[in-house]
Each structure stands twice: as structure tokens, then as C-alpha cells.
Amino acid sequence: MVDDGKTCEACDSTTCPLTSREPKESPQDFLERQAVGRRMCRIKHKILVLSGKGGVGKSTVAVNLAVSLALAGKRVGLLDIDIHGPSVPRLLGLEGRPIEGTGEALLPVRYTDHLKVMSIGFLLQSGEDAVIWRGPMKFAVIKQFLKDVEWGDLDYLVVDSPPGTGDEPLSIAQLIPEADGAVVVTTPQQVAVADVRRCIGFCRQIKLRVIGVVENMSGLVCPKCGTTVEVFKSGGGRRMARETGAPFLGSIPIDPQIVEASDAGTPYVEKFAGSEAAEAFQHVIAPILALSLKDATSGAAATTSEEGAPKSATDVVRIAIPLIADKLTEHFGQCEQLFIVDVASHEKKTVYKEMAAAPDIQPGLMAQWLRKRGVEVFIVGDIGRRALTLFEEQGISVHLAETGQAPDDLIARYLEGELDWA
């Protein structure tokens, strides 16, 4: 990872794939791959927003995800590659903004000091223009966006992909092989969930990590009484995530204010920061913000996170286990200590562990406390339905085990896949 603007020729990395041509790669393709790599090396984390079906609010989720990260003080880029339906300019009130260039690069449109935006919509003469392109041309324009747009140094690049598993999401995954993963958006009804299940299968086939599933339009918030009506039912996304083993990031309710904000070109997390939908979105971004706890440097063996724990560059999972007398307790709210461990799941080995005093917090806040410390898996003896929902909203998967077991034994059983999901 290059954060200081070095060129490939000046980079001292011996493992970077940009230093040499691949077999059967033409000189031109090699130069273009280097050009893409130079841009991407200055971006710490790349997040793809996908859906298996149109009409689930994917672009709305992508926009509010990017804005939420920017409001958290992160430097963010938002790339809209939904070539046939670019809605990001409208959602941000940026329609009609001209694209400027330096002769060698395109400059993204600045939404705020912390958020830059690029979309095919900026290049169309009219919002009613139809883009009729075949696969190779789509690949070429996506590559051009990655190669020619001068993003500068960013903490996050959020990519809004079109629905389905076609040319555009496949192209972006191929062009950014080091992407952190995908946020997959669905609605609760089964017709959408079935398509999103295929989307998760697509991610796994191309070896793209699924950061988690967002269930959008999960109940209608009544503007008069504030109660929630299940228009499309609810819970379909949560169940599908559990069945496929994907983390569940949270549910976003239908709120008339979201429609109002979208039509006005103002993200609802900005305009209606205190709404139920905006607060739900804070749960969604928690595991994405937690990426900053992990080292994103390619090829590094281990670094130190903000919490002081070493982080491997390869598939590290942080696990927490509540203990009484050094054994798993049945009720985590009464635990004396928390055993926190980082494991390299593919290598099935522990890379860091610590014993932390149980936090003195109010009931219901344990999930938030653990999420802030980068915990992704919680092993418990028992858990109620309400508590389980709170952990799922924080993107923490819960596994059940018999009480009284030693933590090291539980970690070994987890790595062998012997613990059941709650």
C-alpha cells in the first residue's frame, strides 16, 4: 500500500503485483494495470455495494454509507458504476455538475471536504439519455474511472455497482482484486432474498469477502404515530444471512423522510440525523469503520491496531468469550472477564489474545462495546432473542457452546466449525 504518492518505479515493495507483467499480459495492459494500481494504492479500503435485484434501494444505501463515513471524519470517494441507471448525482443534488480535468486526470466532483464523487451520470448530456453499451465498452469505462480519476489519498472508496451479477460488478472485482469486500443489499420479501442469495454465491465464487447483508425497507415507519408496519414483512435478510453464514449488518426501515431527502438531493443521514432510519444506519457502518482497526497494508505480516492488538494481513477474526472463573459463563451479562482473541482462520492459529475486565455498562450495550473493539464473533452459553438481534445489528455473529469450557478449547472448536450459530 502506497500512501505517499510514490510511483511504481520508486516503490520498494518486493511483493507488489504491479512490479512485473503477468503471463500473456500485453505491454499496454500491463501499463494500464499499473495506472489503476497507482490510484488504488492511495486508498486504504475499497467497499463494493451490491444487490442481486434492482429496486432494493442499493444506491440509497451506498450514498448514505459514503456520507456516514465522511461524517465520521473519514476521507471518502463514491464511485457510481451503475452505467444504465446512475442515480448518485440525483441523490446528492449534484446533477448537471461538469467534470473538470488536469490534462492527465479527471477530477471527481466535491460534495464536501470529506467526500468526492464520480459517476457516469456526470458525462451524460441529459438525465434522460440512455446508455446502450455492450460488455467490453462497460469494462473499458470502469477501467478509465479507476485509472484516470484523481482521487488522491482516501480512507474509503465506496463503489455503487448495478444490480445483478453481470459485467459491471465482475469488472470492478477484477480491476480491484484487493477490495475489502462487499455490502449486499436486499429487501425482506423472498423474491429479493433469493436473488441476493445468488449475489452472495457470486461473491464467494470470485473470492470477494461479504462484509455483510443490509435489509432495506424493513417495515414502514408511520409518520403520525411512529409505529412500524411490515409492508414487505421483515427478517428475510437476517435469516438469509444466517443461513449463508454472512454477517448481518442491520435493518433500515421504510421512512417517508428518506423519499423526501432523496428527492431533495440530501442524504437522509444528514437531513434527518435523529430519525430511526438514520440511527439504524449507524449500526450498519460500525463494522466498516472497524476496518480501520485492521492493517490494510499488502504483504505485512502483522501490525498494531488502535486497541494495541497485532493484526495479521490475512483473514484475521476477533473473537470474544465471556468468562466466570476462567470458564465460559451461561449469562454474559454477569461475566467477570472477557477473553478476546485474534485468530487467522485459514491458518487455524491464534495471533493475539488478552484478558479484559468485564465492562461496567448498561444491559443491552455489550454488543456496542465489543463492536468498538473490533469483535466479529461472540461465543456464549445462552442468549435471548432480543440480545441476539442487538449483536446482529452490530455485525457480530453469535455462536453457542456448553458452559464451563476453557476458552482455548472453545477457540479450537470454533476453528474446526464445531460451534452452532445462535
Q: What is the CATH number of the domain that holds 352?
A: 3.30.420.130
Q: What is the reported pLDDT for 203? A: 87
* Same domain membership, residue 364 and residue 239: no
Q: Are residues 265 and 400 in the same domain?
A: no
Residue 248, in any domain of the structure: yes
Whether residue 6 lies inside any domain: the answer is no
77 and 109 assigned to the same domain: yes
Contacts of 316 (CB under 8 A, 6+ apart): 294, 342, 343, 344, 345, 351
In single-letter form, the type of residue at position 161 comes to: S
Q: Tell whether 379 and 246 lie within a shared domain.
A: no
pLDDT band for position 373 (cuts 50, 70, 90): confident
319 and 337 in a single domain? The answer is yes
The parent domain of residue 89 ranges over 42-293
In a domain? residue 19: no
Are 344 and 288 within 8 A, CB to CB?
no
Q: Kindly report the CATH number assigned to the domain that includes residue 153.
A: 3.40.50.300
**Residues 330-345, buried b or exposed e (16+ Cβ, 10 A)?**
eebeebebbbbbbbbe
Task: Assign 166 a pLDDT band (cuts: 50, 70, 90).
Answer: low
> In 3D, which of 179, 171, 209, 178 has the Cα closest to residue 15?
178
Residues contacting 384, CB < 8 A, separation 6+: none
DSSP-based three-state secondary structure for 394: coil
In a domain, 22, yes or no: no
> Percentage of the chain with pLDDT > 70?
81
Instruction: Indicate whether 172 and 76 sit together in one domain.
Output: yes
How many domains is the chain built from?
2
Q: What are phi and psi of 318, to 5 degrees?
A: -100, 125
State which of 234, 268, 293 marks the end of a domain: 293
Domain end position, chosen among 264, 293, 322:
293
- End-of-domain residue from the set 247, 274, 293: 293
Residue 213 contacts residue 182 (beta carbons within 8 Å): no
In tens, the pLDDT along 204-229 reads 888 888 888 888 887 776 767 766 67
pLDDT at residue 368 greater than cutoff 60: yes
Rounded to the nearest angstrom, the gap between the alpha carbon of residue 48 and the centroid of all alpha carbons in its chain is 7
Q: pLDDT tens across 46-64, in order? A: 999 998 767 788 899 999 9
Same domain, 192 and 51: yes
Query: Does residue 260 belong to any structural domain of this protein?
Result: yes
Mark whether 253 and 138 lie in a shared domain: yes
What's the pLDDT tens digit per position in 119-141?
887 876 555 544 445 556 667 77
Residues 220 and 315 in one domain: no
258 and 180, same structural domain?
Answer: yes
Element (H, E) at 118: strand 115-119
State how far the Cα of 420 lies from the Cα of 422, in Å rounded to an integer.
Answer: 6
Nearest one of 343, 289, 293 to 318, comparing CA atoms: 343
Determine which of 237-246, 322-331, 379-388 has the lowest per-residue pLDDT on average.
237-246
Residue 46: name the closest of 296, 226, 239, 249 by CA.
296
Q: Is 386 in the same domain as 329?
A: yes
The whole-angstrom separation of Cα 323 and Cα 406 is 9
The answer to the question of residue 109 being in a domain is: yes
Which of these ranges, 118-127, 132-141, 231-240, 319-328, has the smallest mean pLDDT? 132-141
Question: How many other CB atoms are there within 10 angstroms of residue 258's CB atom?
Answer: 25
CA atoms within 13 A on the CB side of 10: 7
CA pair distance 289, 45, nearest whole angstrom: 10
